[in-house]
């Protein structure tokens, strides 16, 4: 009785079902599905069992997604857009998604570590209140961290894969919102953590607004939010230049904020310092990879014909990012803040690869991202192990003489720092070499000169930390080193990757090169 | 000028005017009411542009839910009758300058970009059918991912606000 | 009925609207306005008479035949009362609130179909103010604007009773609006449209109250919540809040709130009739034996009968049900009605999708029933297992701290003994009972 009525009433007829390539976007679906399953676990599993259910679930989700990505990468198919053109599944995307998933797995090792207890027992309790003490004493763990983590990772997978700006914006928000929350959940120094969360949230929503504004202007220019359409419109040199340039500027601003490039870097030190260290590790590795992936896609696809317009500005941003990151880092006395500025400087190095806009630039940036991600996760894992009565010993002076107290941990950390500095036989050297080579080939030699100089400046403060650790007397009540198996595993993984990518980089370089051969689909 | 254009312009004036009143009025609740008027004028503009579904959803969601919740928040915390002197901020001139600059930029960009380009209004262009087929075909993935975003926001709100975790006694789980 | 001759025209659809001459539009609006005012007057009288009957009283019977003019007399009295505006209130908002409450209530009725196409002075037109592709959304939007009247009245009165009443009422209306919107979704799915005339047209065979019975049940519950009437009249629970949000209002402003309440009653009833009871269509036995029942001016009669049955149902409820507690009300809205509606929509949508794919309806029904039974059984089993655990825990807790029956050397009953009215415990026991009760209530409101 209803069928003929609805047929008669709907003038356009039935809406045909959209065609979704489930196989191609399965990693994303898997991770988001596990996140939703995690929410169900929170709702239906008893408090005592939640942790034991959540952790394997999250591990399985990330590992499954990673395995599926590898399978997708092994099949030699022509890459194509998926899900009604919303996502591009191509070589660079798969490489980035694989990198994000494996780095998230390593971060999960840190997050799931109960021994270090980085997360607040009850986020809603006032810092220092009785309720907080009671929940802490009861040994309660806020297991909502795991679904939030999976949501964030899902967003990170979508962000660099999105083939249109709307999907990209949604991916950006799915990635950012859980991270804002996770930043405020540190167990120690709650006020600092909450301040970091609020700061990140406010500045992040500001940058999202700019991003959205840019999308609006570009839509006005091209009449479409698809990256390919924007490129085609720009190639025809039609439409209004003003809209286009305004759009590029605002879009780039939103992306550069997520990377933490100077002058949009203000949030990074505060947030990295305040957030629970496992979350800092996640942000320093996965978020950076994801944001650079999106940056690459936008600049390589949508603005490919406009290099003359955006290159000068990006040159400037890259140069001040490298220099400011390296110079300000010298004055830092907190380990996590120092690593944050180091991350800013590395964002500058990575930008030189983006500016190259060549196949080599793409592949070298991909390699650098993977190498840097592993090193930084390992470094933050080490930071979680050096503890005193108040939690992690953040201040640099507390690390004095660590080499005598715990030579192994200090040695590992020193190695990570050398990798950041780009000493040969570490992955940092290979990455920087690849990126700078691509930049030189793309006639950006001045950039490379600046890069080398700021690398030298950066090396100064890395070496300073090594000196403090090995060549000064330990304090009497200095911090102790507590290494639990999960953290140790994370450190070992980071170390292994840093060594292997430094000594035998060719397979991964080939992989990145292979991923970059077809460039991005559109 | 056709009648449609006149109505559109008038509604635009109402939206902008009430928007200015939102930030200049010294009474908190009045600011919320001006906001309602602004949203209502926007809904009217959607109607003029034949987007009926969007217009009524705008009334339903923004006017009917969001501002009511805002009012709710104001009333549960503090809602003085009369002017509230602390609604004014020393930064008002800077804020005004930023706002004017943003508006000028936007207007310039839009005028330069579109000039007097015109697009014909089609009847039913903004109907529920057209919107549905756009959302559930072309934009199905972002749309579904948005639901995930809302879910994560929901989880986050619970994490940040629930204080009865591990209270003295654990009550029923569904509680 | 010579100028208003009935014409056997096709049922009105969306395309038939927007073609009326100006005098017809004006006439329709006027008729609807008069109809609403009359409905309010009559339903006030009906309510008082019916409730009187239910309580074995007579009810008002002095003014006019059977006291029919009582409503009019009350109206005149209200209008002639002194109009008090408390000092220090926000005057603009105080005056705006009743207007915001009454005006949207009138607007909603414009999309309610009273009947099919008829001929008025030679013009073929539908007996309906107008129709939109999204007409039902208009009703929801108007009821959400009506909330402002309540919130602002509560706030601007400078009275704690009013403020609490306003807050309660708006929270309640918003909560129930969501469940109400969800109960419409299944109707939209089956009618394939959101316009009221199309929805009535889609019910020419089976009423949606039969086809979508769960939606109908949810709607009837939510409409009681929306209308702020017993058993959900917490906003003006006179035992707690004097008059709720309109405590400080008098004279014509109070009359406006009164008007809005009764018009909302009529609107909700009319909407229920339109969406679920076939609108103006004649009920089954009549339409089967008499083909002309669904044409001409007769449908207005069927519509009125259904409308008044609903209003009577409202009054009947008021006569028989007690008021619920506020936390129970919110729990019902958020934890029962909404999840239930969502599950039901999922089911309906799945069945529609299978049907569109061309599966056999019988098979679908069997599978659905089996799956639903399995889920229900599983839930019951789960609840039983969980309930057992809970009781064990409670038992263990009770065992851990047994009450000492001779504390202080005297036989003392346990403090939490229910319904204990003995003398021994004295004030202590009573205070404890009061304490637990208030704890329950505060917990519930959060």
Q: How many whole angstroms separate alpha carbon C300 and alpha carbon C1?
A: 14
Contact A112, A66 (CB under 8 A): no
Three-state SS annotation for A219-262: HHHHCCCEHHHHHHHHHHCCCCHHHHHHHHHHHHHHHHHHHCCC
Q: Is the pLDDT of residue B148 over 70?
A: yes
Q: How many whole angstroms separate alpha carbon A519 and alpha carbon A78?
A: 11
Residues of C in contact with B53 (CB under 8 A): 133-134, 137
H helical segments located in C55-159: 70-80, 91-108, 135-156
- Tokens representing C249 are 């209002």
- Tokens representing A2 are 């209803």
Most confident of A135-149, B135-149, C165-179, C427-441: B135-149
pLDDT band with cut points at 50, 70 and 90 for residue C173: confident
Produce one character per residue of C256-295: b if its CB has 16 or more CB atoms within 10 Å, e if not. bbbbbbbbbbbbbbbbbbbbbbbbbbbeeeebeeeeebbb
Q: What is the pLDDT of residue A100?
A: 95
Q: How many whole angstroms separate alpha carbon A314 and alpha carbon A303?
A: 13
The packing angle between helices C338-357 and C213-226, to 10°, is 150
Residues of A in contact with B113 (CB under 8 A): 217, 220-221, 239-240, 242-243
* Of the partner residues A36, A122, A167, the one whose CB lies closest to the CB of residue B151: A36
A83 touching B (Cβ < 8 Å):
yes
Query: How many residue contacts between A and C have a Cβ separation below 8 Å?
Result: 29
Q: Is the pLDDT of residue C418 over 80?
A: no
Q: What is the pLDDT of residue A1?
A: 35
Could you identify the residue written with the tokens 């002017």?
A: B83
Q: What is the pLDDT of residue C396?
A: 45
Return mean pLDDT, chain B. 81
CA A134 to chain centre: 35
Long-range pairs for A202-207: beta carbons < 8 A, 24 or more residues apart: A203/A257, A203/A266, A203/A267, A204/A176, A204/A180, A204/A257, A204/A267, A206/A257, A207/A253, A207/A254, A207/A257, A207/A258, A207/A264
Q: How many whole angstroms separate alpha carbon C280 and alpha carbon C274?
A: 7
Is residue A3 in a domain?
Answer: no
- DSSP letter string over A411-430? HHHHHHHHHHHT-TTSHHHH
pLDDT digits (tens, 9 = 90+) for A366-379: 999 999 999 999 99
Q: Is the pLDDT of residue B169 over 60?
A: no
Question: Cβ of A14 and C192 within 8 Å?
Answer: no
Q: Is the pLDDT of residue A80 over 90?
A: no
C110 touching B (Cβ < 8 Å):
no
Integer CA distances (angstroms), A25 to A80, A85, A166, A313, B146, in order:
11, 12, 17, 35, 16
Q: Is the pLDDT of residue A359 over 90?
A: no
The pairing of beta strand A80-82 with beta strand A87-89: antiparallel
B131 touching C (Cβ < 8 Å):
no
Q: Is the pLDDT of residue C375 over 50?
A: yes
A1 touching C (Cβ < 8 Å):
yes
pLDDT band with cut points at 50, 70 and 90 for residue C429: very low
pLDDT digits (tens, 9 = 90+) for A156-167: 999 999 999 999
Q: What is the pLDDT of residue A302?
A: 86
Question: Cβ of C206 and A1 within 8 Å?
Answer: yes
Q: Is the pLDDT of residue C381 over 50?
A: yes
Question: Cβ of B68 and C88 within 8 Å?
Answer: no
Q: How many whole angstroms separate alpha carbon B7 and alpha carbon B9?
A: 5
Kindly report the backbone phi and psi dihedral angles of residue A481, in degrees, each rounded to the nearest multiple of 5, phi listed first. Answer: -105, 115
Q: How many whole angstroms separate alpha carbon C429 and alpha carbon C417?
A: 9
Helix, strand, or coil (residue C125): strand
A138 touching B (Cβ < 8 Å):
yes
- Using a 10 angstrom Cβ sphere, with 0-12 exposed, 13-18 middle and 19 or more buried, the burial of residue B72 is middle
Please give the helix or strand (H or E) that residue A81 lies within, else none: strand A80-82
Q: Is the pLDDT of residue A112 over 60?
A: yes
- Tokens representing A322 are 């490298």
Question: Cβ of C90 and B29 within 8 Å?
Answer: yes
Count CA atoms within 13 Å of residue A361 on its CB side: 24
Is residue A8 in a domain?
Answer: no
What does the domain layout of chain C look like in residue ranges? 83-113+132-358, 361-389, 413-446
Question: By mean pLDDT, which of A167-176, A401-410, C94-103, C290-299 is the weakest?
Answer: C290-299
Contact A275, A199 (CB under 8 A): no
Q: What is the pLDDT of residue A350?
A: 92
DSSP A472: S
Give how many domains chain A has, as a whole number. Answer: 1
DSSP C290: -
Q: What is the dihedral of CA A366, A370, A376, A378, to 10 degrees?
A: -170
Return mean pLDDT, chain C. 77
pLDDT band with cut points at 50, 70 and 90 for residue A473: confident
- C128-136: average pLDDT: 82
Question: By mean pLDDT, which of A3-17, C199-213, C333-347, C380-394 is the weakest?
Answer: A3-17
pLDDT digits (tens, 9 = 90+) for A237-266: 777 787 888 889 999 999 999 988 988 888
Integer CA distances (angstroms), A48 to A125, A436, B7, in order:
20, 52, 62
Neighbours of B143 (CB within 10 A): 17
Q: What is the pLDDT of residue B149?
A: 93
- List all residues of chain A from 96 to 125 with a beta carbon under 8 Å from chain B: 121-125
Kindly report the backbone phi and psi dihedral angles of residue A408, in degrees, each rounded to the nearest multiple of 5, phi listed first. Answer: -65, -55
Chain C residue with Cα closest to B73: C167
Count CA atoms within 13 Å of residue C366 on its CB side: 4
- DSSP letter string over A270-310? HHHHHS-HHHHHHIIIIIHHHHHHHHHHIIIIITGGGHHHH
Question: Cβ of B173 and C386 within 8 Å?
Answer: yes
Helix, strand, or coil (residue C302): helix
Cβ partners under 8 Å of residue A106, min gap 6: A281, A285, A374, A377, A381, A490, A493, A494
Q: What is the pLDDT of residue A48?
A: 81
Kindly report the backbone phi and psi dihedral angles of residue A186, in degrees, each rounded to the nearest multiple of 5, phi listed first. Answer: -65, 145
- C360-374: average pLDDT: 82
Neighbours of A413 (CB within 10 A): 26
Query: How many residue contacts between A and B have a Cβ separation below 8 Å?
Result: 135
Enumerate helices (H) and strands (E) in chain A, giving the number of each: 22, 5
The pairing of beta strand A480-481 with beta strand A391-392: unpaired
Query: How many residue contacts between B and C have a Cβ separation below 8 Å?
Result: 78
Chain B residue with Cα closest to C132: B52
Q: What is the pLDDT of residue C406?
A: 58
- Tokens representing C304 are 């009125």
Q: How many whole angstroms separate alpha carbon A123 and alpha carbon A119?
A: 9
Contact C309, C327 (CB under 8 A): no
C167 touching B (Cβ < 8 Å):
yes
Q: Is the pLDDT of residue A321 over 70?
A: yes
Residues in chain B: 175
Choice between A397 and A152, residue whose per-residue pLDDT is larger: A152
Long-range pairs for C313-317: beta carbons < 8 A, 24 or more residues apart: C314/C224, C314/C227, C314/C229, C314/C265, C314/C269, C315/C46, C315/C47, C315/C50, C315/C51, C316/C50, C316/C54, C317/C224, C317/C229, C317/C230, C317/C231
Nearest to A146 by CA among A172, A113, A169, A124: A113
Q: How many whole angstroms separate alpha carbon C397 and alpha carbon C379?
A: 26
pLDDT digits (tens, 9 = 90+) for C305-338: 889 998 898 888 888 888 888 888 888 888 888 9
Q: What is the pLDDT of residue A416?
A: 93
Q: How many whole angstroms separate alpha carbon C221 and alpha carbon C178?
A: 12
C95 touching B (Cβ < 8 Å):
no
Q: What is the pLDDT of residue C355?
A: 78
pLDDT digits (tens, 9 = 90+) for C90-125: 788 888 888 888 888 888 888 888 888 777 777 777
- A32-42: average pLDDT: 93
B130 touching C (Cβ < 8 Å):
no
Nearest to C156 by CA among C261, C260, C249: C249
């Amino acid at each position: 009785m209803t069928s003929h009525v609805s047929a008669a009433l709907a003038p356009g007829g039935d809406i045909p079902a959209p065609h979704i390539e489930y196989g191609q976007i399965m990693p994303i679906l898997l991770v988001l599905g596990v996140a939703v399953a995690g929410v169900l676990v929170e709702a239906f599993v008893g408090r005592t069992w939640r942790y034991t259910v959540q952790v394997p679930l999250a591990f399985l989700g990330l590992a499954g997604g990673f395995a599926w990505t590898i399978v997708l990468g092994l099949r030699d198919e022509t890459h194509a857009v998926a899900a009604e053109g919303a996502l591009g599944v191509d070589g660079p995307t798969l490489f980035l998604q694989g990198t994000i998933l494996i780095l998230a797995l390593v971060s999960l090792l840190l997050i799931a570590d109960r021994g270090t207890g980085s997360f607040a027992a009850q986020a809603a309790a006032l810092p220092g209140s009785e309720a907080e003490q009671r929940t802490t004493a009861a040994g309660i763990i806020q297991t909502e961290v795991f679904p939030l983590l999976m949501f964030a990772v899902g967003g990170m997978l979508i962000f660099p894969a999105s083939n249109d700006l709307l999907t990209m914006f949604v991916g950006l928000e799915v990635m950012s919102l859980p991270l804002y929350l996770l930043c405020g959940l540190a167990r120690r120094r709650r006020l600092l953590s909450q301040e970091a969360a609020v700061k990140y949230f406010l500045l992040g929503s500001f940058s999202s607004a700019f991003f959205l504004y840019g999308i609006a202007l570009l839509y006005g220019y091209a009449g479409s939010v698809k990256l390919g359409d924007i490129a085609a419109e720009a190639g025809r040199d039609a439409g209004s230049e003003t809209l286009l340039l305004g759009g590029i500027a605002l879009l780039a601003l939103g992306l550069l904020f997520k990377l933490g490039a100077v002058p949009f870097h203000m949030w990074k030190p505060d947030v990295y310092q305040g957030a629970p260290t496992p979350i800092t590790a996640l942000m320093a590795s996965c978020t950076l990879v994801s944001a650079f992936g999106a940056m690459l896609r936008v600049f390589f696809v949508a603005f490919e014909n406009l290099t003359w317009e955006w290159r000068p500005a990006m040159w400037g941003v890259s140069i001040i990012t490298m220099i400011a990151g390296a110079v300000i880092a010298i004055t830092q006395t907190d380990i996590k803040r120092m690593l944050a500025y180091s991350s800013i400087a590395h964002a500058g190095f990575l930008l030189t690869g983006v500016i190259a806009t060549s196949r080599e630039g793409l592949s070298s940036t991909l390699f650098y991202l993977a190498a840097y991600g592993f090193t930084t996760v390992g470094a933050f894992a080490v930071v979680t192990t050096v503890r005193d009565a108040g939690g992690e010993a953040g201040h640099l002076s507390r690390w004095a003489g660590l080499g005598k107290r715990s030579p192994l941990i200090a040695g590992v950390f020193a190695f990570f720092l050398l990798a950041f500095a780009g000493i040969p036989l570490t992955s940092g050297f290979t990455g920087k070499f690849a990126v700078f080579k691509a930049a030189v080939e793309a006639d950006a030699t001045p950039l490379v000169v600046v890069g080398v100089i700021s690398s030298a400046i950066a090396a100064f403060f890395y070496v300073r930390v090594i000196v403090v650790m090995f060549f000064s007397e330990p304090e009497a009540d200095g911090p102790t080193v507590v290494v639990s198996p999960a953290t140790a595993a994370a450190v070992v993984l980071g170390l292994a990757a840093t060594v292997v990518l430094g000594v035998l980089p060719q397979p991964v370089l080939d992989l990145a090169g292979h991923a970059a051969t077809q460039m991005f689909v559109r | 000028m056709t009648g449609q254009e006149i109505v559109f312009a008038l509604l635009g004036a109402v939206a902008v005017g009430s928007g200015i009143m939102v930030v200049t009025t010294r009474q908190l609740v009045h600011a919320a009411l001006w906001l309602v008027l602004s949203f209502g004028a926007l809904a009217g503009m959607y109607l003029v542009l034949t987007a009926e579904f969007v217009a009524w959803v705008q009334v339903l969601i923004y006017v009917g839910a969001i501002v009511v919740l805002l009012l709710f928040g104001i009333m549960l915390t503090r809602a003085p009758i009369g002017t509230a002197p602390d609604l004014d901020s020393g930064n008002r001139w800077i804020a005004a300058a930023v706002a004017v600059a943003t508006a000028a930029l936007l207007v310039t960009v839009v005028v330069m970009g579109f000039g007097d380009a015109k697009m014909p209004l089609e009847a039913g262009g903004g109907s529920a059918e057209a919107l549905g087929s756009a959302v559930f075909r072309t934009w199905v993935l972002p749309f579904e991912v948005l639901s995930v975003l809302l879910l994560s926001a929901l989880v986050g709100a619970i994490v940040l606000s629930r204080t009865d975790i591990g209270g003295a006694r654990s009550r029923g789980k569904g509680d | 009925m010579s100028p208003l001759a009935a014409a056997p025209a096709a049922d009105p659809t969306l395309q038939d609207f927007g073609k009326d001459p100006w005098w017809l539009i004006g006439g329709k609006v006027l008729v609807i306005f008069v109809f609403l005012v009359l409905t309010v007057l009559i339903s006030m009288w009906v309510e008082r008479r019916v409730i009187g009957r239910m309580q074995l009283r007579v009810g008002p019977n002095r003014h006019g035949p059977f006291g029919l003019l009582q409503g009019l007399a009350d109206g005149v009295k209200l209008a002639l009362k002194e109009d008090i505006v408390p000092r220090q209130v926000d005057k603009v908002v105080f005056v705006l609130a009743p207007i915001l409450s009454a005006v949207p209530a009138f607007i909603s009725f414009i999309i309610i179909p009273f009947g099919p196409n008829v001929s008025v002075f030679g013009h073929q037109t539908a007996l309906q103010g107008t129709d939109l592709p999204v007409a039902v959304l208009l009703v929801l939007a108007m009821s959400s604007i009506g909330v402002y009247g309540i919130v602002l009245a509560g706030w601007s009165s400078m009275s704690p009773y009013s403020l609490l009443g306003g807050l309660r009422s708006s929270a309640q209306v918003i909560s129930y609006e969501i469940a109400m919107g969800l109960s419409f979704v299944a109707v939209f799915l089956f009618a394939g449209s959101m316009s009221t005339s199309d929805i009535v047209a889609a019910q020419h065979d089976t009423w949606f109250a039969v086809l979508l019975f769960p939606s109908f049940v949810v709607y009837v519950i939510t409409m009681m919540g929306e209308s702020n009437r017993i058993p959900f009249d917490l906003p003006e629970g006179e035992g707690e809040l004097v008059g709720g949000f309109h405590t400080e209002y008098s004279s014509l402003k109070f009359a406006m709130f009164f008007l809005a309440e009764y018009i909302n009653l009529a609107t909700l009833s009319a909407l229920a009739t339109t969406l679920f009871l076939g609108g103006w269509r004649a009920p089954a036995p009549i339409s089967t034996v008499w083909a002309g029942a669904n044409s001409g001016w007769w449908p207005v009669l069927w519509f009125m009968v259904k409308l008044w049955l609903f209003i009577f149902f409202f009054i009947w409820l008021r006569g028989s049900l007690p008021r619920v507690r506020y936390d129970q009300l919110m729990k019902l809205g958020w934890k029962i009605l909404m999840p239930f509606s969502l599950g039901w929509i999922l089911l309906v949508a799945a069945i529609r999708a299978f049907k569109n794919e061309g599966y056999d309806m019988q098979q679908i029904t069997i599978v659905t029933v089996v799956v639903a039974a399995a889920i229900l059984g599983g839930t019951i089993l789960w609840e039983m297992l969980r309930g057992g655990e809970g009781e064990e825990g409670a038992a263990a807790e009770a065992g851990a701290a047994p009450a000492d029956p001779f504390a202080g050397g005297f036989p003392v009953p346990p403090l939490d003994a229910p319904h204990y009215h003995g003398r021994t415990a004295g004030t202590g026991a009573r205070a404890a009972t009061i304490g637990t009760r208030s704890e329950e209530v505060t917990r519930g409101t959060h």
